[in-house]
Amino acid sequence: MLTAAAAVESGSEHPIARAIVRRAQDKGIKVPAIRDFEALPGAGAVATIKDTRVTVGRADLFDEVPAELATLERPGTTVFVGWDGVARGALTVADEIRETSGDAIRALRAEGLQVWLLSGDNEHNATTIAAQVGIDPEHVVADVRPQDKHDEIARLQDSGRVVAMVGDGINDAPALAEADVGLAIGTGTDIAIEAADVVLMSGSLTGVPNAIALSKATIGNIRQNLFWAFAYNTALIPVAAGALYPAYGILLSPVFAAGAMALSSVFVLGNALRLKTFKVQG
């Protein structure tokens, strides 16, 4: 089963596919060549090994799933392997939660943001993962396909929410493109990166609260600079034009006017450079 699954999944970039291939490599299995590979977004993949068309993925890709396979209850994602419409075996791929993921979720919630989990995994596994990282069970949407993720993002937007989507896989691309802000994990697939607005170079979720915090700091800096520029020019342009001369006989020398203008630019630039001191978390 592992040999057949690894052969088919060798043509895919999906994290589950990479895990299966890596397991086969760890066991020293020589993976056979495939042809006519076809990815089934949100479901699995199909390819031909020698003369057999092998399917790897969800149970609903098969016409028949034996009872001993259909009733498997193991922690993680169950991937079925078979051909001729019949599931012949199953593999389980378990998610390993990064230590920083829980911290990232708590940081987002501390900012008053709602955090949702959209997962193609079954409800049991999705809610288990959500509980471990601190996501409310009512904010878990499980067993969804790529189009379902897109539709869920659109539903949240229609309810008046501004939605940021974080993803790393091919299945996440439609939702990343639909979201108000799409954030792709830099270690993810090229398609997800192309569909996103922001690319987080590390594979850690701590990049999400860091990106939000840096964005807020940048907007605050821009507002400070605009206020300074308008206030400074509003005060000094009339003086340079001679507004104080009739009453006080004060004129602003062109030399001092040029210096004052330069000082304004230096202040704005210096304020902007303060962003270099921004400290990221994690």
Is the per-residue pLDDT at 189 higher than 80? no
61 against 252, higher pLDDT: 61
Check residue 89 and give its pLDDT. Answer: 92
pLDDT-above-70 percentage for the chain: 98
The structure tokens 């006519």 sit at 36
pTM, two decimal places: 0.69
Among 187, 143, 156, residue whose Cα is nearest residue 169: 187
Please state, in angstroms and rounded to a whole number, the distance separating the CA atoms of residues 168 and 188: 4
Is the per-residue pLDDT at 72 higher than 80? no
Is the per-residue pLDDT at 17 higher than 70? yes
Average pLDDT, the chain: 88
- What is the Rg, in whole angstroms, of the alpha carbon atoms belonging to the chain? 28
When pLDDT is cut at 50, 70 and 90, the band that residue 217 belongs to is very high
68-77, 172-181, 199-208 — which is least confidently predicted? 68-77
Render pLDDT for 107-154 as a digit per residue (tens, 0 to 9).
Answer: 999 889 999 999 887 788 888 889 889 999 999 998 888 889 999 999
Render pLDDT for 219-253 as a digit per residue (tens, 0 to 9).
Answer: 999 999 999 888 888 888 888 888 887 888 888 78
The 10 Å CB-count burial string (b at 16+, else e) for 38-67 is: ebebbbbbbbbbeeeebbbbbbebbeebee
The structure tokens 């001191």 sit at 277
The residues, any chain, with a CB within 8 Å of residue 242's CB and separated by 6 or more, are 251
Is the per-residue pLDDT at 99 higher than 90? no
Q: Which residues pair with 134 in a beta bridge?
A: none
Check residue 281 and give its pLDDT. Answer: 66
Is the per-residue pLDDT at 76 higher than 80? no
Average pLDDT over residues 191-214: 86
For residue 266, the Cα-to-chain-centroid distance in whole angstroms is: 37
183-191 contacts at long range (C-beta below 8 A, 24 or more positions apart): 183/207, 183/208, 183/211, 189/13, 189/14, 190/13
Average pLDDT over residues 164-178: 88
Check residue 256 and give its pLDDT. Answer: 82
Please state, in angstroms and rounded to a whole number, the distance separating the CA atoms of residues 91 and 28: 17
